[in-house]
């Protein structure tokens, strides 16, 4: 374990040395309630192996992670019957990632809950329907993917 992993709270939980209310675990992932949940049932799903964010994971590890996200998210829906659920992954400080170990938040939602909206108010976001730069950006992304798009 390197110095970054030794200081990682999620690595400690995965190793069984950090305290958490674990609701699911397997050989590759675990899911637990955070210490300061946004709503009742708010759950974090993390890979056991340290990776700073989703982009640092290989495809197999990401598949294991999202298989657990679906499993635990389905259980939360069955048990809590929320009106909705946010599935959130933040990668990087600019995206409000505060623990630099890949994790996915499952946040059961109800009207008026303390979570609040996660998008800008209608009309306040970026608009680019008729922007030629957006068309050029779409072409560059398609080229980076290596497959034709629309």
Which of 64, 101, 103, 105 is an active site residue? 103
133 C-beta neighbours (distance < 10 Å), count: 8
Enumerate long-range contacts of 35-38, CB under 8 Å, 24 or more apart.
Answer: 38/105, 38/107, 38/113, 38/114, 38/115
Q: Nearest-CA neighbor of 42 among 118, 105, 117, 111?
A: 105
Buried b (16+ CB within 10 A) or exposed e, 77-110: eeeeebeebeeebbeeeeeebeebbbbbbbbbbe
- C-beta of residue 105 within 8 angstroms of C-beta of residue 46: no
Alpha-carbon span 42 to 34, nearest angstrom: 7
Is 101 among the catalytic positions?
A: no
Catalytic residue numbers read 103
């Amino acid at each position: 374990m390197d110095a970054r992993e030794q200081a990682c709270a999620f690595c400690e939980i995965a190793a069984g040395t950090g305290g958490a209310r674990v609701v699911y675990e397997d050989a590759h992932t675990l899911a637990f309630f955070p210490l300061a949940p946004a709503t009742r049932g708010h759950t974090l799903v993390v890979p056991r192996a340290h990776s700073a964010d989703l982009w640092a994971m290989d495809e197999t590890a990401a598949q294991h992670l999202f298989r657990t996200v679906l499993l635990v998210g389905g259980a939360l829906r069955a048990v809590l019957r929320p009106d909705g659920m946010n599935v959130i992954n933040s990668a990087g400080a600019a995206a409000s990632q505060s623990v630099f170990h890949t994790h996915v938040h499952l946040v059961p939602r109800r009207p008026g809950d303390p979570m609040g909206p996660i998008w800008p108010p209608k009309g306040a976001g970026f608009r680019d329907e008729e922007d030629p730069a957006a068309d050029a950006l779409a072409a560059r992304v398609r080229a980076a993917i290596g497959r034709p798009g629309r």
